[in-house]
Amino acid sequence: MNETMKGYVYRLKPTIRQINLINQTFGCVRKMWNLLLLERKSIYELYGSILSY
């Protein structure tokens, strides 16, 4: 094991505005994830294969 590896811990203290922006951002990410997951499921049910790149 490498003896020179170190870990750091940071404590974040976002403002109310930043908290709202973080919540909005993750809300949008969750919405997109769910929409794309629904699309993948629909394609699999229709064609029996997965969607790829």
pLDDT digits (tens, 9 = 90+) for 1-53: 567 888 999 999 999 999 999 999 999 999 999 999 999 999 999 998 887 76
Whether 36 maps to a domain, the answer reads yes
**The predicted structure's pLDDT at residue 50:** 80
Whether 5 maps to a domain, the answer reads no
Q: CA-CA distances (angstroms) from residue 46 to 26, 32, 37, 51?
A: 30, 21, 14, 11
Give the residue numbers spanning the domain of 35: 15-53
Count structural domains, the chain: 1
pTM above 0.75, yes or no: no
pLDDT digits (tens, 9 = 90+) for 2-13: 678 889 999 999
